[in-house]
């Protein structure tokens, strides 16, 4: 499919300022008048506020749209990164599940299918992706810099992820005084993004917050800035826009939506429809051993995803194929034509560092067998694997097993010696480095940092691969 999908999505979150409900209704009206659907990522507390404020009119309109989830309390402290920091992988995932699942369940009771999840502001947690799988929420939809792949949708931790779209994320700055110029600038950006995807197809992301159409300041900056956490009795509404300014902003938005609807190369889709335009995680069947060996050979020193005849494979998937090939060879005495791959998570803690080395094919096959046993039991890659007296880093395991598989393909026996140079996981470059910009979101306390969350994210670069259009 070579058409370009444009998804409009909204973070529906201001549960404090009642007038933001009217802005939400106005935006919904714009979609419904045009027979279009967007994706509305709703905060649990916002849903409860709509019910308390008896906004059945808004809930009815939302029923006709695509609904996502945007955490239970968003910016109220502790925000996600605050409560997950320092917990490590498993406890962090449990805490995310415990705190965020109730809001999801409320939305499911009201709306049924929940198409996606996205983080509040900079409140990143890599564990969220794994929990989405447990929840049956099929997509991570947001915009940020923590992870990305080629400015198009990708698979990360086996979750379809639309994130870090960069120039394929388009917005009209509705707050500018010169509304006509704001819309014209967005037209140029939208057309440039669509042109860049012409022929191959792809995705353009457009997002807003309904509160941008009702208040001059974000509700969470007013109430929860820099770690402040007042009780609900002290929450304050945000300053309201003048009615004519609110109207003008809605007009700019409607102009942008019309522009996308009228563009001949574009389909305006919601998140559920977007997901349907991509193949499942795949690969669609066993991967040829020959392809695995060739792909590893092309990588040089940098481990990355590979494309096979049955679809893209992440480094983690590729590793399971290579290990599985060696295991089959050790069991049966001959290599299979093709192997099934599985999709484990990357390691969940930092382990050994890659060093390269040498060993016998038989030792590599033994390491493959113990790594596979671990993968099958735990669902994630080991941080280190024993091979004889050595402790192999995941990168060494990848390099050694690929070298052994190639040697076996060439007729080597288990006594044959292989050597392998240290490799690095090149896809780690797709994970943001820690720095002052990473934790600058307004609700974070001054000086807040959660470096461990970026380290855990880096380990999951093993699971990265592009999403492929149908
Ligand atoms: Zn938000």
Q: Which residues are within 8 A (CB) of 106 and not within 5 positions of it... i.e. 6 or more apart?
A: 44, 47, 48
C-alpha 354 – ligand 1 centre gap (Å):
39
C-alpha 463 – ligand 1 centre gap (Å):
26
The pair of three-digit structure tokens given for residue 352, joined into one six-digit string:
């050994």
Q: pLDDT tens-digit profile of 383-408? A: 999 987 889 999 999 999 999 999 99
Predicted local distance difference test score (pLDDT) of residue 1: 52
Residue 439 placed within a domain: no
Q: Are 186 and 223 in the same domain?
A: yes
C-alpha 402 – ligand 1 centre gap (Å):
43
For the chain, helix, strand, coil in percent to 5 are 45, 15, 35
Residue 437 placed within a domain: no
**Domain that residue 214 falls in:** 4-278+450-466
C-alpha 65 – ligand 1 centre gap (Å):
19
Q: Are 80 and 219 in the same domain?
A: yes
Q: pLDDT tens-digit profile of 235-254? A: 999 999 999 999 999 999 99
C-alpha 383 – ligand 1 centre gap (Å):
34
Coil, helix or strand for 109? helix
Distances (CA, A) of 454 to 46, 81, 99, 125, 223: 29, 11, 21, 8, 27
Distances (CA, A) of 268 to 38, 187, 196: 8, 15, 17
Predicted local distance difference test score (pLDDT) of residue 437: 84
Residue 328 placed within a domain: yes
**Residue 271, domain CATH:** 3.20.20.370
Helices vs strands, H then E, count in the chain: 15, 19
Q: pLDDT tens-digit profile of 292-317? A: 999 999 999 999 999 999 999 999 99
When mean pLDDT is compared across 127-131, 183-187, 263-267, 432-436, the lowest value belongs to 432-436
C-alpha 249 – ligand 1 centre gap (Å):
19
C-alpha 272 – ligand 1 centre gap (Å):
20
Give the other-Cβ count within 10 Å of 29's Cβ.
13
Q: Which residues are within 8 A (CB) of 140 and not within 5 positions of it... i.e. 6 or more apart?
A: 116, 117, 118, 128, 129, 132, 156, 159, 160, 161, 162, 163
C-alpha 72 – ligand 1 centre gap (Å):
11
The pair of three-digit structure tokens given for residue 301, joined into one six-digit string:
């020193």
Domain count, the chain: 2
Q: pLDDT tens-digit profile of 122-170? A: 999 999 999 999 999 999 999 999 999 999 999 999 999 999 999 999 9
Q: Are 362 and 461 in the same domain?
A: no
C-alpha 208 – ligand 1 centre gap (Å):
9
C-alpha 465 – ligand 1 centre gap (Å):
26
Residue 440 placed within a domain: no
Q: Are 270 and 180 in the same domain?
A: yes
When mean pLDDT is compared across 52-66, 181-195, 218-232, 429-443, the lowest value belongs to 429-443
The pair of three-digit structure tokens given for residue 99, joined into one six-digit string:
């705190």
C-alpha 67 – ligand 1 centre gap (Å):
14
Q: Are 183 and 312 in the same domain?
A: no
Give the pLDDT band of residue 90 (cuts 50, 70, 90): very high
Coil, helix or strand for 456? helix
C-alpha 20 – ligand 1 centre gap (Å):
14
Residue 121 placed within a domain: yes
Residue 442 placed within a domain: no
pTM above 0.95, yes or no: yes
Predicted local distance difference test score (pLDDT) of residue 281: 95
Q: Are 172 and 26 in the same domain?
A: yes
Predicted local distance difference test score (pLDDT) of residue 390: 83
C-alpha 209 – ligand 1 centre gap (Å):
7
Q: What is the rounded CA–CA span in Å between residue 43 and residue 46?
A: 5
Q: Is the model's pLDDT at 171 over the cut of 90?
A: yes
Burial of 71 (C-beta count, 10 Å sphere; 0-12/13-18/19+): buried
**Range 262-279 average pLDDT:** 97
Contact 341/330 with Cβ under 8 angstroms?
no
Ligand 1 (ion): which residues have CB within 5 A? 11, 13, 120
What is the rounded average pLDDT for all residues in the chain? 97
Length of the chain: 470
The strand pairing partners of 466, in sequence order, are 154
Q: What is the rounded CA–CA span in Å between residue 275 and residue 232?
A: 38
Distances (CA, A) of 155 to 67, 149, 283: 21, 9, 12
Q: Are 22 and 87 in the same domain?
A: yes
Q: What is the rounded CA–CA span in Å between residue 290 and residue 306?
A: 13
Contact 263/194 with Cβ under 8 angstroms?
yes
Nearest to 7 by CA among 66, 74, 60: 66
Residue 438 placed within a domain: no
Predicted local distance difference test score (pLDDT) of residue 245: 98
Q: Are 92 and 188 in the same domain?
A: yes
Residue 443 placed within a domain: no
Q: Are 455 and 424 in the same domain?
A: no
Q: What is the rounded CA–CA span in Å between residue 126 and residue 147?
A: 10
Predicted local distance difference test score (pLDDT) of residue 387: 87
C-alpha 71 – ligand 1 centre gap (Å):
9
Distances (CA, A) of 17 to 40, 95, 275: 18, 29, 33
| Sign of the four-CA dihedral 369, 370, 374, 380 | negative
C-alpha 74 – ligand 1 centre gap (Å):
7
Q: Are 274 and 372 in the same domain?
A: no
Q: Are 324 and 254 in the same domain?
A: no
C-alpha 251 – ligand 1 centre gap (Å):
22
Burial of 149 (C-beta count, 10 Å sphere; 0-12/13-18/19+): buried
The pair of three-digit structure tokens given for residue 239, joined into one six-digit string:
């300053």
Output the CA torsion 194→196→197→202 (10° steps): -70
Buried-exposed string 318-329: b where 16+ CB fall within 10 A, e elsewhere: bbbbbbbbbbbb
Q: Are 401 and 460 in the same domain?
A: no
Q: What is the rounded CA–CA span in Å between residue 416 and residue 405?
A: 12
């Amino acid at each position: 499919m070579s058409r370009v999908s444009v998804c409009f999505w909204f973070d529906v979150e201001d549960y404090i300022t009642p007038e933001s409900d009217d802005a939400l209704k106005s935006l919904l009206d714009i979609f419904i008048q045009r027979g279009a659907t967007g994706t509305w990522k709703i905060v649990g507390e916002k849903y409860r506020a709509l019910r308390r404020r008896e906004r059945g009119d808004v809930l009815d309109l939302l029923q006709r749209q695509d609904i996502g989830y945007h955490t239970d309390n968003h910016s109220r402290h502790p925000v996600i990164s605050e409560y997950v920091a320092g917990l490590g992988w498993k406890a962090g995932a449990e805490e995310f599940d415990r705190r965020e699942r109730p809001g999801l369940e409320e939305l499911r009771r009201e709306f049924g299918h929940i198409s996606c999840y996205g983080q509040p502001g900079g409140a990143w947690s890599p564990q969220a992706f794994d929990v989405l799988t447990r929840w049956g929420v099929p997509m991570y939809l947001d915009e940020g810099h923590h992870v990305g792949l080629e400015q198009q949708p990708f698979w990360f931790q086996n979750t379809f992820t639309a994130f870090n779209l960069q120039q394929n994320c388009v917005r009209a700055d509705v707050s500018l005084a010169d509304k006509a110029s704001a819309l014209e600038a967005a037209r140029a950006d939208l057309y440039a993004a669509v042109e860049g995807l012409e022929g191959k197809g792809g995705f353009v992301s457009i997002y807003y917050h309904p509160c941008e159409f009702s208040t001059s300041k974000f509700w969470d900056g007013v109430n929860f800035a820099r770690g402040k956490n007042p009780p609900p009795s002290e929450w304050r509404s945000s300053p309201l826009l003048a009615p004519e300014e609110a109207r003008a902003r809605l007009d700019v938005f409607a102009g942008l939506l019309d522009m996308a609807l009228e563009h001949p190369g574009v389909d305006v889709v919601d998140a559920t429809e977007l997901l349907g335009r991509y193949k499942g995680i795949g690969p669609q069947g066993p991967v040829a051993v020959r392809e695995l060996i060739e792909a590893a050979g092309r990588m040089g020193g940098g481990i990355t995803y590979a494309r096979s005849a049955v679809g893209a494979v992440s480094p983690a998937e590729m590793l399971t194929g290579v290990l599985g090939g060696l295991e089959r060879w050790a069991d049966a005495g001959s290599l299979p034509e093709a192997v099934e791959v599985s999709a484990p998570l990357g390691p969940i803690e930092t382990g050994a560092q890659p060093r390269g080395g040498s060993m016998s094919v038989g030792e590599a096959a033994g390491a493959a067998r113990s790594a596979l046993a671990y993968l099958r039991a735990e669902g994630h890659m080991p941080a280190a694997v024993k091979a004889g007296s050595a402790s192999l880093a995941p990168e060494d395991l990848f390099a050694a097993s690929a070298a052994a598989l190639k040697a076996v393909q060439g007729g080597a026996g288990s006594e044959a010696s292989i050597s392998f140079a240290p490799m690095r996981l090149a896809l780690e470059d797709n994970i943001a480095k820690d720095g002052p910009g990473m934790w600058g979101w307004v609700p974070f306390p001054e000086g807040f940092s959660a470096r461990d969350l970026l380290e855990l994210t880096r380990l999951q670069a093993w699971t990265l691969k592009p999403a492929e259009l149908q």
